[in-house]
Amino acid sequence: MSKPVKQNEPLVTHIYTADPSAHVFEGKLYIYPSHDLDHEMESNDNGDQYDMEDYHVLSMEDTDSPCVDHGEVLHLRDIPWAKQQLWAPDAAYKNNTYYLFFPARDHDGIFRLGVATSSSPAGPFTPQPDYIPGSFSIDPAVLVDEDDKAYIYFGGLWGGQLEKWQTGTFKPDAEGPAADAPALGPRVAELSEDMLTFKDTPVEISIVDEDGNPLLAGDEDRRFFEGPWVHKHNGYYYLSYSTGSTHKIVYAMSKNPMGPYVYKGTILTPVLGWTTHHSIVQFKDKWYLFYHDSSLSGGADNKRSVKFTELKYNDDGTIQTIDPYK
Ligand code: FUB
């Protein structure tokens, strides 16, 4: 029997894990991470060092229970449309089915989003034969709202290729907007009833400052980079994401799941390692931030470990900033 988990320590140490998407399914905490491989890779801005090939599912009965690794639940070799790089996944439950949403590069090297299904939150998951039509970029996160409508949020700059989709078609040489132009926002689409396709063409989410002005591309402390996550608290939608080059998890709030979202502040200060990626979940009467860092590997960007810590709100609904090392 493995040891009980502790906050701010790796959930598991026998494999490297990253990009945790946490959910409460069947009364337990289930975590859907990326599975970082223990191989030596040179880091570049394209993210070639994140060369993952499968997914594992983790679960915990409680926040002081051992963490169970349910083993490999989906492998690249079983996904006909995907060539490489199984990046940050998410899971959702609807129609008595568990859905695993994931990004990968297709056989043309273009990131797309796929979906796989299971009757159990612990998998194994069976992939659809093709990617979601009209999908692109990385880091899908799905919110099934209280009215049962499901929204998929996604997108990521640089290796995540979002800059290349500004015209609606893939332009391999496209650059991001000028520093004084509005930043690119994550994309959102409502999912069809069967959760396998987009209902409509995805739209860009606008993230604005307190005066209603869009955040600018040069505002690297606040602008969206990758890893969108949306959760709901007291009637507000919270969009949180990584700022990439400034290594923070920040958030913005809205009354509408499609935005616009008003920027509010920092949730998580930088962790060890280049990337930062998170999810936020309520379990029993508390809220938790799941995140990763590279402490277990001594700082290797592509060998990360999932951790969690309690997240607290202020009375006005804003979120208290977390320093993971204090
Ligand atoms: O794990 C690969 C990529 O690194 C994810 O998709 C990004 O969010 C970043 O964490």
DSSP string, 277-306: -EEEEEETTEEEEEEEESTTTTS-TT--EE
> From the alpha carbon of 304, which atom of ligand 1 is closest?
1
The reported pLDDT for the residue numbered 243 is 98
The reported pLDDT for the residue numbered 87 is 98
How far apart CA 191 and CA 246 sit, in angstroms, is 32
Q: What is the pLDDT of residues 263-294, one digit of tens each?
A: 999 999 999 999 999 999 999 999 999 999 99
The pLDDT of residue 305 is above 70: yes
- Residue bearing the CA closest to ligand 1, atom 2: 87
210 phi/psi in degrees, rounded to 5: -60, -25
Question: Which of 17, 19, 85, 245 best tests ligand 1's pocket when mutated (most atoms within 8 Å of CB)?
Answer: 19
The reported pLDDT for the residue numbered 41 is 81
The reported pLDDT for the residue numbered 325 is 97
Antiparallel, parallel or unpaired: β 54-60 and 28-36: antiparallel
Between the CA of residue 128 and those of 3, 72, 82, what are the distances in Å?
36, 17, 11
- Whole-number mean pLDDT of the chain? 97
What SS3 class is residue 1? coil
Q: What is the 3-state secondary structure (H, E, C) of 146-192?
A: CCCCEEEEECECHHHCHHHHCCCCCCCCCCCCCCCCECCCCEEEEEC
Give the Å distance between the CA of 274 and the centre of ligand 1: 10
For the ranges 33-47, 202-216, 258-272, the lowest mean pLDDT is seen at: 33-47
19 is catalytic: yes
Tokens of 38: 């223990």
Q: What is the pLDDT of residues 142-151, one digit of tens each?
A: 999 999 999 9
Percent of the chain with pLDDT over 70: 100
Q: What is the pLDDT of residues 92-119, one digit of tens each?
A: 999 999 999 999 999 999 999 999 999 9
Give the Å distance between the CA of 299 and the centre of ligand 1: 16
> From the alpha carbon of 36, which atom of ligand 1 is closest?
1
How far apart CA 261 and CA 250 sit, in angstroms, is 12
Ligand 1 contacts CB of residue 139 (under 6 A): yes
Q: Of these residues, 36, 69, 106, 226, which one is catalytic? A: 226
Ligand 1 contacts CB of residue 50 (under 6 A): yes
Sorted by sequence, the CB contacts under 8 Å of residue 40 that are 6+ apart come out as none
226 is catalytic: yes
Cα of first residue to Cα of last residue in the chain, in angstroms, is: 29
Give the Å distance between the CA of 147 and the centre of ligand 1: 30
Average pLDDT for 151-172: 98
Would you place residue 1 in the very low, low, confident or very high pLDDT band (cuts 50, 70, 90)? Answer: low
Average pLDDT for 147-163: 98
How far apart CA 256 and CA 242 sit, in angstroms, is 21
The reported pLDDT for the residue numbered 18 is 98
> From the alpha carbon of 88, which atom of ligand 1 is closest?
6
Would you place residue 43 in the very low, low, confident or very high pLDDT band (cuts 50, 70, 90)? Answer: confident
